[in-house]
């Protein structure tokens, strides 16, 4: 009997989503100023708040801005998303992720649009 490789039904979809999450989490294990476990923790928290496609765009923005380091800073910009808010300088990673998602949704409408804006203006 041949076994199909097709993803079917809720179990197959759940397995596919787990594989996407795992691949995403493992794609950028190097995290500036943080251990690999911390980076995975930050990514898992962000992933829990966004759907798969939005998380993918969010992850690319954060990787570019801070390499997933909550302590990143550059010319008055702080945290995972390098926001100008001084609040981000002392906020923990969860608050930084929540702030960044809210900022992205309020300003751009979606994580995809935030990522596209970043690319359009050469911030990569």
Distance between CA 73 and CA 25 in Å, rounded? 23
pLDDT tens figures, 60-70: 999 999 999 99
Residue extents of the structural domains in the chain: 9-120
pLDDT tens figures, 38-61: 989 999 999 999 999 999 999 999
Global pTM reads 0.70
DSSP of 92-119, one letter per residue?
-HHHHHHHHHHHHHHHHSSHHHHHHHHH
44 to 22, 109, 121: CA distances (angstroms) = 10, 22, 28
φ, ψ for residue 74 (rounded to 5)? -160, 110
């Amino acid at each position: 009997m041949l076994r199909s490789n097709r993803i079917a039904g809720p179990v197959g979809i759940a397995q596919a989503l787990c594989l996407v999450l795992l691949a995403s989490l493992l794609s950028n294990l190097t995290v500036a100023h943080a251990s690999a476990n911390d980076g995975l923790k930050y990514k898992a928290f962000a992933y829990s708040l966004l759907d798969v496609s939005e998380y993918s765009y969010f992850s690319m923005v954060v990787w570019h801005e801070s390499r997933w380091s909550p302590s990143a800073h550059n010319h008055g910009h702080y945290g995972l998303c390098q926001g100008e808010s001084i609040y981000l300088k002392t906020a923990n990673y969860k608050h930084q992720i929540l702030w960044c998602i809210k900022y992205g949704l309020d300003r751009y409408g979606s994580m995809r649009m935030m990522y596209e804006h970043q690319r359009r203006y050469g911030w990569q």
